[in-house]
Amino acid sequence: MSDIIFVKGLLVHARHGVMDHEAQVGQRFVIDLELFIDLSESSRTDKLADTVSYSSVVATATAAFKDTNYYLLERAAGAVADAILATFERVSAIQVTVHKPHAPIPAIFDDVGVIITRSRS
């Protein structure tokens, strides 16, 4: 059984991209997280110690995403997944979605981004 803790629409300003202006000026990204975790104990005990703190998850994801500049969203999303799995033992898997609403694409589009899923080996 796997329950889910989620964070939707986390806004982060970062400098990811292959174009020079993306690295210099940066832009807004939107991150969605789904953490697969057994919540049976915390649903019985009502204790934060039996789950993971949303605040800590957001802080970890934000730091992993913006502390290094990457060319590819794939790598930036992977850094977030790696950091969450390394920090929170209770999380068995994670899905990270990164939206790049202002991607320098010569087209009209609603959304562009990546979705990656990682789990413990």
What are the pLDDT digits (tens) for 91-118?
999 999 999 998 888 999 999 999 999 9
Structural domain range at position 11: 3-119
* 47 noted as active-site residue: no
Which among 8, 47, 66, 100 is annotated as catalytic? 100
User: Residue 65 and residue 45: Cα distance in Å, rounded?
Assistant: 33
DSSP string computed for 109-121: -S--EEEEEEE--
What's the total number of domains in the chain? 1
CATH number for 110: 3.30.1130.10
| The pLDDT of residue 1 | 54
Parts of the chain with a pLDDT under 50: none
